[in-house]
Chains A and B, each alone.
Chain A
Amino acid sequence: MRNDKKLIIGFLTPCILTLFIMYLYPVARTLVMSFFRIESVTAATSTWSFYGLGNYAKIFHSPSFKSAMWNMVRIWLVGGILTLSLALIFAMILTSGIRFKKFFRAAIYMPNIISAVALATMWIQYVFNQDYGMLNQMIRFFGGTGVKWLGTDLKFWAMLFSFIFGAVGYYMLIFISGIEKIPADIYEAATIDGASKVQQAMKITMPLLKGVTKTNITFWSIHTTTFFLWSMMFSPVDTEAATIVPVVYLYNTVFGSKGNSQRDAGAGAAVGVVLALIIVAIYFVMNRLFKDDDVEY
């Protein structure tokens, strides 16, 4: 048994080393960088100049960063409510014993395995196109006038709606796995006692899904803060306030953008730290709100 210790250390060391080098060290370094004025991400530490909270002040005074944060809040709140509710409803329907369950499950999950670039291109160039797009053709068929889906006022919602369409499947699968863990005899007992399907959903399924819901909300928060590709696709060539999100702001700040060669790695690091803190805060709040140890089965 004693020799096992050497084996355990032998097998764990590469993993721990990788964790430190690839993950903890960059995180710690980013945290430190956010307090310095630095131009290039890979600049030597001798070129760093201490800036205190200057980077944080800079980004919170920046109208583009504020637009980015506001967009992210709307994606998290509105998008979150829509995506998770749809995912839960689909999950409940698919676990209630309907036919062709496997087909529907695959169909709803399909957008997740298609590249986001391909999905976004389809939405922008086909569905939302003003002249021959799917939505405007449907509207004209019923006698209305086409809507400018990708104009400045609707672009954010067009982007959010396309994103939700592709995201529902992922959360639905997690909900399905949570529901399938609930023993069937509880539902049988409830049916015998005369509870309707809706009552069963509200009084049995929802409380017992607390843990899974907490997981989903945490995953959703992570996906929201790292929202990037869709924003870049809906604003080609250069960034717009209608679609900007914090990671895009970070990307433009650290690497420069079209016609602007200024780079500020310190400010980028500050953005990264702010996003990480938001996730941590959400996680702790969720842990408080969703105490999942008061029900068991």
Chain B
Amino acid sequence: MNRKRLVVTVVLLMAAACFAFAAGSSETTTKKAEGVYSGVTLNFWSMWNSNEPQGQVVAAAAKAFEEKTGAKINIEWKGRDINKIIATALEAGENIDVFEEDYRRIGNVYKNYVYDLTDMAKAANYDAQSYACFNEEITKWAGFLAAITEQPQVGGIFYNKEIFKNAGITIPTTWDEFLAVNQKLVDKGYEPMALDSAYADFFFGYHLDRRIGQAVTTELVKNGGWSKNAGAVAAAQDIIDYRKAGYLAAGAPDEFPSSQNKIGLTGKVAMIVCANYVCSEVNNTTGANIDWGMFNYPTIAAPAGSGSTNAYAGANSLAITKYSKNPQAAFDFLMLLTSGEYDQKMANAASQIPADPRNVAPAIMNGTIETLQATSSPLSWSMGLNANPDIKANVKTNIIALFEGKFATGADFAKAMDALYK
């Protein structure tokens, strides 16, 4: 009887100990600093990891803010998977003040849970230190300024400057000029365009935007009617002709990242249609020191095309939760992180575009600030081709097959796309 009581007591104690440790250890913060925000604690859910260059800059900025204002910033390094857990956390009213996410999701999915930053931004003259295109887009989606841009991205054609110089190429602006550039490169013994199948829809989406515009593409993807749209058929035919002329690099479309790596490995491949992170990606992976430049995807004038000169632009941004107890303190920290000294540090450490246009883009990102400032209607990733979740995967496979030369004519491609809507 006594032994049984002892066993039960031990088991209950063990269970209690488990729960005590499971509840987590609480931090005892006894840092007492004098400052504007002393006593304020901000909880920051970051999409970076602590050892990434971006993460290190965020940590340094947080420390500087703490010293300047006496606030305490708790950073939780959630990594990229934050996009899977943040929605649930916001709905549950979890104790978060600031989080980082793709600005498209902030403006569309989380808009009911984030703070309206319009007034604070006006008071801080935020317009002078940010890109108008992102602020306008997110205001369009959410109805108010919902996020502060941290990591801008821009898309276009990134090229090896040395190859262009050796071949005597001038930057093309129209599709016909672009085709002539490709031919000149082939004549000089270079391979014009790298392509990985993972970015096939990005490339084709850009081209569709030049033929019919992103809005029409989105309509076609949602409801079908590809064969009836002459512009869409022409766009597919353009790709078939492009491939037949031999302008794709050997082996393209290849499996990511084989084709883009060839830019660095062989030194013979000249261009790639991608977003700006491809530059440092290729340089770091292949060890090559490519001198990168970029130009906007060439345009096709009406009536054959849409005349669009828009570029893809996206951003990872910072948002403040609606229920945050210290929105002004959080906003001041965001201003510190995304402008001036710390934004320049971020751009240099991670070889990315500065969030503050007054800063200087690292050499590898030449031309990106100007392109972003000239963009009024940024294109979304894949320019509408992802708008229909029911057929998304099949659309992508059809596009990869288009680049592989599996369709004889643009009309065949349009027919294959229409077959998805039966």
Chain B, Cβ-Cβ closest to A259: B381
User: A-side interface residues toward B, CB under 8 Å?
Assistant: 3, 7, 10-11, 14, 40-44, 58, 61-65, 67-68, 124-125, 128-131, 148, 150-152, 235-242, 244, 249, 252-253, 255-264
Q: Is the CB of B391 within 8 A of A64?
A: yes
Q: Is the CB of B386 within 8 A of A238?
A: yes
Given known A130-B251, A258-B382, contact A40–B393 (CB-CB < 8 A): no
Q: Is the CB of A239 within 8 A of B392?
A: yes
- Hey, what's the 0/1 contact readout for B283-319 against A, CB within 8 Å counting as 1? 0000000000000000000000000000000000000
Chain A, Cβ-Cβ closest to B252: A130
Q: Is the CB of B255 within 8 A of A259?
A: no
Some 30 contacts from A to B, beta carbons below 8 A apart, are A3-B4, A10-B11, A40-B88, A40-B91, A62-B390, A63-B420, A65-B390, A67-B393, A128-B255, A130-B255, A130-B258, A148-B404, A150-B255, A151-B253, A151-B400, A235-B198, A238-B198, A238-B392, A238-B396, A239-B392, A241-B397, A257-B392, A259-B104, A259-B380, A260-B387, A260-B389, A260-B392, A261-B108, A262-B389, A264-B389
Residues of A contacting B: mostly: loop
- Give, as a whole number of angstroms, the nearest-CB distance from B133 to chain A: 17
- Give, as a whole number of angstroms, the nearest-CB distance from B115 to chain A: 19
Q: Does B186 contact A (CB under 8 A)?
A: no
- Give, as a whole number of angstroms, the nearest-CB distance from B278 to chain A: 12
Within B212-252, the residues touching A (CB, 8 Å) are 251
Given known A124-B255, A151-B404, contact A258–B394 (CB-CB < 8 A): no
Residues of B within 8 A of A11 (CB): 11
Please report the C-alpha to C-alpha distance between residue A239 and residue B108 in the assembled complex, in whole angstroms. Answer: 22
- Give, as a whole number of angstroms, the nearest-CB distance from B137 to chain A: 13
Please report the C-alpha to C-alpha distance between residue A63 and residue B198 in the assembled complex, in whole angstroms. Answer: 20
Q: Which of A61, A63, A67, A151 has the most CB of B within 10 A?
A: A63
Residues of B within 8 A of A240 (CB): 197, 393, 396-397, 400
Q: Is the CB of B8 within 8 A of A252?
A: no
Residues of B within 8 A of A68 (CB): 393
Q: Is the CB of B392 within 8 A of A252?
A: yes
Q: Is the CB of A63 within 8 A of B391?
A: yes
Please report the C-alpha to C-alpha distance between residue A129 and residue B201 in the assembled complex, in whole angstroms. Answer: 21
Q: Is the CB of A64 within 8 A of B91?
A: no
- Hey, what's the 0/1 contact readout for B82-114 against A, CB within 8 Å counting as 1? 011001100110000000000011001100000
Q: Is the CB of A64 within 8 A of B393?
A: yes
Within B184-213, the residues touching A (CB, 8 Å) are 197-199, 201
Residues of B within 8 A of A42 (CB): 87-88, 91-92
Please report the C-alpha to C-alpha distance between residue A106 and residue B199 in the assembled complex, in whole angstroms. Answer: 40
Please report the C-alpha to C-alpha distance between residue A58 and residue B390 in the assembled complex, in whole angstroms. Answer: 9
- Give, as a whole number of angstroms, the nearest-CB distance from A68 to chain B: 8
Within B1-56, the residues touching A (CB, 8 Å) are 1, 4, 7-8, 11, 15
Residues of A within 8 A of B136 (CB): none
Given contacts A249-B393, A260-B392, 4 further A-B contacts (CB under 8 A): A63-B420, A64-B392, A148-B404, A259-B385
In the complex, how many residue pairs between chain A and chain B have their CB atoms under 8 Å apart? 122
Q: Is the CB of B393 within 8 A of A244?
A: yes
Q: Is the CB of A64 within 8 A of B386?
A: no
Chain B, Cβ-Cβ closest to A239: B393
Residues of A within 8 A of B91 (CB): 40, 42-44
Chain A, Cβ-Cβ closest to B92: A42
- Give, as a whole number of angstroms, the nearest-CB distance from A177 to chain B: 34
Q: Is the CB of B258 within 8 A of A129?
A: yes
Given known A63-B420, A241-B397, contact A257–B15 (CB-CB < 8 A): no
Residues of A within 8 A of B386 (CB): 238, 257-260
Residues of A within 8 A of B397 (CB): 152, 240-242
Q: Does B358 contact A (CB under 8 A)?
A: no
Q: Which of B15, B104, B397, B420 has the most CB of A within 10 A?
A: B397
Within B243-290, the residues touching A (CB, 8 Å) are 251, 253-256, 258
- Give, as a whole number of angstroms, the nearest-CB distance from A133 to chain B: 9
Given known A239-B396, A240-B400, contact A258–B389 (CB-CB < 8 A): no
Please report the C-alpha to C-alpha distance between residue A30 and residue B4 in the assembled complex, in whole angstroms. Answer: 41
Chain A, Cβ-Cβ closest to B380: A259
Q: Is the CB of B198 within 8 A of A236?
A: yes
- Give, as a whole number of angstroms, the nearest-CB distance from A122 to chain B: 13
Q: Does B406 contact A (CB under 8 A)?
A: yes
Residues of A within 8 A of B394 (CB): 63-64, 67, 241
Given known A7-B4, A131-B251, A240-B397, contact A259–B382 (CB-CB < 8 A): yes
Residues of A within 8 A of B380 (CB): 259
Given known A65-B390, A124-B255, A151-B404, contact A263–B109 (CB-CB < 8 A): yes
Q: Is the CB of A62 within 8 A of B391?
A: yes
Q: Does B360 contact A (CB under 8 A)?
A: no
- Give, as a whole number of angstroms, the nearest-CB distance from B225 to chain A: 16
Given known A42-B87, A240-B396, A241-B396, contact A152–B390 (CB-CB < 8 A): no
Residues of A within 8 A of B104 (CB): 259, 261
Residues of B within 8 A of A260 (CB): 386-387, 389, 392
Residues of A within 8 A of B201 (CB): 238
- Give, as a whole number of angstroms, the nearest-CB distance from B200 to chain A: 9
Residues of B within 8 A of A40 (CB): 87-88, 91
Given known A63-B394, A152-B400, A240-B393, contact A256–B420 (CB-CB < 8 A): no
Residues of A within 8 A of B374 (CB): none
Residues of B within 8 A of A124 (CB): 255
- Give, as a whole number of angstroms, the nearest-CB distance from A9 to chain B: 11
Residues of B within 8 A of A152 (CB): 197, 397, 400-401, 404, 406
Q: Which of A124, A128, A242 has the most CB of B within 10 A?
A: A242
Chain A, Cβ-Cβ closest to B382: A259
Residues of B within 8 A of A252 (CB): 389, 392
